[in-house]
Amino acid sequence: DTEVTQTPKHLVMGMTNKKSLKCEQHMGHRAMYWYKQKAKKPPELMFVYSYEKLSINESVPSRFSPECPNSSLLNLHLHALQPEDSALYLCASSLSVTQYFGPGTRLTVL
């Protein structure tokens, strides 16, 4: 089973809202990732968690706040986003080197 789940599938939020994206995997993977994908572009890495600790932050603005409460769960907290943050947000996990992606959350910021 190589399933990564993400909720919600779609999210519409205003610039003053606070919302969270959720990612879950039960494959025992110890590394988890957040990516952002704009239309017709490849995914871009945002954050890497390894053993529940933030290992890499690709200079992401502080209005995006990741959290890894346990080894199976990864959250992305959103606050005061801008319309240009509208994108597909992808979560991935890996045991060793191959990353498995979830279906993504389509975020629209009004």
The answer to whether residue 69 forms part of the interface with another protein (CB under 8 A) is: no
Nearest to 4, CA basis, from 107, 106, 88, 103: 103
Tokens of residue 34, six digits? 């957040």
Q: Which of 85, 108, 79 is nearest to 36 (CA)?
A: 85
Near another protein by CB under 8 A, which window of 12-20, 64-72, 76-84, 88-96? 88-96
Question: Which region among 14-22, 63-71, 75-83, 98-106 touches another protein (by CB under 8 A)?
Answer: 98-106
Which residues lie near another protein (CB under 8 A)? 2, 4, 6, 31, 41-45, 48, 50, 55-56, 88, 90, 92, 94, 97-104, 106
